[in-house]
Structure 1
Amino acid sequence: MSVRYVSTRGQAPVARLAEAIRNGAAPDGGLYLPEAVPSVDLAALSGDMPLADFAAAMLAPFFAGDALEGELGAICAEAFDFPMPLVTPDPAKPGLRALELFHGPTGAFKDFGARFLMACFDRLGGRDDRLTVLAATSGDTGGAVGCAAEGREGVRAVILYPRGRVSAFQELQLTCWDAPVKAVEVDGDFDDCQRLVKAAFADAGLSRAHNLTSANSINIGRLLPQMAYIGAAAVRAFEETGEKPGLIIPTGNLGHGFAALYARALGLPVGPILAVTNANRTLSEWRASGVYEPRSSVATIANAMDVGAPSNFERLIHLDPALRAIDVELVEDDAIRARIRSEYEASFYVWCPHSATAAEAYARMNPARRAERPWIAAATAHPYKFADVVEPLIGRSVEAPPALAAILGREAAKVAIPAELDALVGALEADFSPVVA
């Protein structure tokens, strides 16, 4: 039975999956979700399956009857072609495992989603009808999208990032990709970048003229692979321990946290979910008060999580209340630094600033709650990407893995614009020959 996709705002026509992925956001400005939670054949899933096979089996109901259905196996093979180890960072804390999601080509969990989505786009677009991916990034999404889009024929990528709000290595990773990729530095914060993307999609003429689509987690095609690897990790831990693992997920735009919620809604063996934010307080205050009040983002050392108006909150509140139980923990910069330092001193394991928020949240947890089950912390980025923060804390250099070392020799190029839609239109209409950074 094929799945239909509806907008969270309820004012857009229902869509098939290919259309939902192609559109990015729904025409009414909402975000796509399945009309009902699909039924997954849980008995067909096991923790020892190759990740690509697990993903294809788990996601099959989402693709049933769709134009991309016959391509699902190949899409998963493209997206899930690097390891995802589940490790114990500190043997003295056997109840905490780190799900290392940073072994892809740009050293961040976004590699899974970006490669999955670009594989879909390449099959939906064409040389004469090329899609334009418009992506706002607070750090890691843009690099993963640029890498995944480089050299493709059916899609081009325009990546917006906030000036002065990303690390030096992140900026290189955003600006080093060859055609058909363009990096656009915005004079503003991440929320300004996200606002520009939403404004571009809301302009029907502009969207049609450039075949706009999105690679941010507003696109359902980004969330599907995240659900799959979260499900695979949960099944693996459940088969080993007999207990549903709790998940500790660093989150900014709430895509990763929502993917965990939806994996649990599908029936995967997922226990409690704890979303961890940095000093941006929107989600923690909502959890405490029940009132959601978006605000301007605050700059932190965990910059990929610097989001004051998380888009995927719209998906979260669209879920049935019985399916959206989630806790939120806020971790500020001083605690991040202290956790990186103390974990290294205890075990020599190195957490990036984002992943360290999860380690800190685990450390704060009531001991009785910790002991109830295994806990999986999403390790979202390689610490080398944040060497300027990490190295002074651990007292040694962090070695670049081969994939990230290869980026160092690339030439950077970007265009700079004010945070205005007219300026973005100019960048979209210009050729793909940006100035050298």
Structure 2
Amino acid sequence: MKLENLKDLSDTVSFSQAVTKGLGKHQGLYFPTDIPKVDNIEAVLQMPFVERSIFLLQQLIGDELGEGVLDDIVQSAFNFSAPVTQVSDNIFTLELFHGPTLAFKDFGGRFMAQCLSRIAKNKPVTILTATSGDTGAAVAHAFHGIQNIDVVILFPKGKISPLQEKLFSTLGDNIHTVAVEGDFDSCQALVKKAFDDPEVRDDLHLNSANSINISRLLAQVCYYFEAVSQLSAKQREALVVSVPSGNFGNLTAGLIAKAMGLPVKRFIAATNSNDTVPRFLKTGKWDPKTTVATISNAMDVSQPNNWPRIEALIEKGYIDKDIVHGEAVDEQYTQMAMRQLAQAGYTSEPHAAVAYRVLSHSLEQGETGLFLGTAHPAKFRETVENVLGQPISLPRELAAVVGEDSLSVDLSASYDDLKAHMQQLLKDKK
């Protein structure tokens, strides 16, 4: 597999190099130079999930990792289900929260950890990543205990749910968590500065596990095929997929699946009040505003990192720009959507509710709708209980960490403070 840096097309790398480096020169994102078209989609959709995922990733990555290695990685990473559940006559949800940290990012996090542990071959690596909620837990659990790999996770202090934070701030060992005084965009900016600093990047053998890392992105392609495989042939004829969007890795993966031949009529980028992309799609003007805090906090992103990859898909002719629509949902309508789903007998958290709200108001006659359920509602227990006015129980994964103490360190949004903190971590390891 060959990938090119979208900011410097002369910077081309293999899959292994892209996984190891994370970002290219000038903070550029790596993207495939070619996306293969899959023949006989119907036969592919008949495959079991793991077998199909190995096949799809083989088409993308090729034999680079060695015979049987990709099979082992996928079998280890994708050891949980992604069921489709019907919520109304023509609307379904893809539940992506049945992994160990109850969020869709378990797919990408676990796949990346398995890839990197084999590619690095016991050489020291420091993973630096920013999270607006679910990435932190998925990455922390995926890499916890892996020898010679340290993980530093930045998150906006006080701006993610307490249970989200407990899932990744209580592990310790090779997992180091930092509560930053700022929003998610501040955390993301710190990550970018670290990658631009040779002293930190080279001394700490820096890598990132955000969706900027191509391994995470490719893993997510697989569950779009899994979703469609669970629908009938009739439902696939005019399928509309609504994706709750923050950093836009999830939507990028869906569009890659479409480029490979997955039958989807159109995609909806559903955002909360942080609506940079919906406004851009309507006006053609890229105008990020100050990030605002919402109850769908994992989508509180005003400058989504993955958007250049979507633009690349359009510019290269893999995707027609007319199949991508964007809509924003404010707090009032997010809560209304949660109540509507509850009345239909389905309990949802705010992010999926945003996607449902846009989807339910966008479907045309004869279309089937699918929205992505990206996190277990219990991860947002306080919000869900407040909105719905009824208690929800905690799954065992969350119940196990409720009483644990957070091991996070508080830092300002100053890069100098972060650099000193990370250099101290390196000294402490020696």
TM over 0.5: yes
Q: 2:152 aligns with which of 138, 158, 167?
A: 158
User: For the Cα contact (< 8 Å) 1:249–1:276, is it kept in 2?
Assistant: yes
1:286 aligns with 2:280: yes
In the comparison of the two structures, how many residue pairs are matched? 424
Distance 1:169 1:433, change over 3 A: farther
Decide whether the 8 Å contact of 2:82 with 2:226 is kept in 1.
Answer: no
SS in 1 for 2:13: coil
CA distance in 2, matches of 1:45, 1:134: 40
What corresponds to 2:303 in structure 1?
309
Q: Which residue does the alignment assign to 2:52? A: 54
Match of residue 246 from structure 1 = 240
Question: After superposition, where does 1:207-356 map in structure 2 within 5 Å?
Answer: 207-237=201-231, 239=233, 241-321=235-315, 322=317, 323-325=319-321, 326-344=324-342, 346-356=343-353
Q: Tell me the residue number matched to 1:110.
A: 105
Q: 1:180 to 1:365 in 2, by over 3 A?
A: same
Residue 98 (structure 1) aligns with: 93
* Matched residue SS, 1:99: strand
| Higher deviation after alignment, 320-329 or 79-88 | 320-329
Partner of 1:364: 361
Shift of 1:198: 0.6
Partner AA of 1:85 in structure 2 = P
Could you state the TM-score of these two structures normalised by the residue count of structure 1? 0.92
Q: Report the TM-score, using the length of structure 2 for normalisation.
A: 0.94
Looking at structure 1, the residues matched to 340 and 26 of structure 2 have their Cα atoms a distance apart, in angstroms, of: 48
In 2, Cα distance between the equivalents of 1:57 and 1:154?
30
Q: Within the alignment, does 1:204 sit opposite 2:198 as a pair?
A: yes
Change (3 A) 1:324 1:428: farther
CA drift of 1:42 comes to: 4.2
C-alpha distance in 2, partners of 1:113/1:312?
15
Distance across 2 between alignment mates of 1:212 and 1:21: 11
Tell me the distance in 2 between the aligned counterparts of 1:25 and 1:238: 40
| Structure 1 letter corresponding to 2:183 | D
Whole-Å separation in 2 of the counterparts to 1:251 and 1:292: 16
Aligned to 2:86: 88
2:66, 2:275 → 1: CA distance? Answer: 39
User: Which runs of 5 or more residues in structure 1 are unaligned?
Assistant: none
Runs of 4+ more than 4 Å apart? 41-45
Counterpart Cα distance in 2 of 1:179 and 1:115: 18
Q: Which moved more, 1:224-233 or 1:273-282?
A: 224-233
* Structure 2 contact 41–261 (Cα < 8 Å) conserved: no
When structure 1 is superposed on structure 2, of 183-192 and 346-355 the one drifting more is: 346-355
Aligned counterparts of 2:9 and 2:148: Cα–Cα separation in 1 = 29
State the match for 2:117 in structure 1: 122
Q: Cα distance, 1:5 vs. partner?
A: 0.5
Deviations 1:323-360 (A, max 9, x none): 1521001001111111112221x222111000000111
Deviations 1:26-69 (A, max 9, x none): 12311011112224344585434332211111110222142356
Percent identity for Structure 1 against Structure 2: 34
Deviations 1:209-242 (A, max 9, x none): 1111111011111111111111221233254635
Asked if the contact 1:283/1:328 (under 8 Å) is kept, the reply is yes
Checking the alignment, whether the CA contact within 8 Å between 1:317 and 1:324 is kept in structure 2 is no
> Would you say the 8 A contact 1:6–1:15 is kept in 2?
yes
Aligned-residue offset at 1:416? 1.2
For 1:315 and 1:398, how far apart are their aligned partners in 2? 38
The equivalent residue for 1:397 is 391
From 53, 69, 81, give the equivalent of 1:71.
69
Would the alpha carbon gap of residues 59 and 151 (structure 1) be closer, same or farther in structure 2, given more than 3 Å must change?
A: same
Match of 2:7 in 1: 9
Distance in 1 separating the partners of 2:306 and 2:52: 25
User: CA deviation digits over 1:311-331, x for unaligned, max 9?
Assistant: 111111122344152100100
User: What SS is found at the alignment partner of 1:249?
Assistant: strand
Partner letter of residue 276 of structure 1?
A
Matched position secondary structure for 2:230: helix
Aligned-pair CA distance for 1:390: 0.7
After the TM superposition, which of the residue ranges 173-182 and 300-309 deviates more from structure 2? 173-182
Q: CA RMSD in A?
A: 1.9
- Following superposition, the deviation at residue 175 of structure 1 comes to 0.5
Aligned partner of 1:407 in structure 2 is: 401
Structure 2 gap segments, 5+ residues each:
none
**Secondary structure in 2 aligned to 1:259?**
helix
Does structure 1 retain, via aligned residues, the 8 Å contact 2:236–2:264? no
1:421 to partner: Cα distance: 1.4
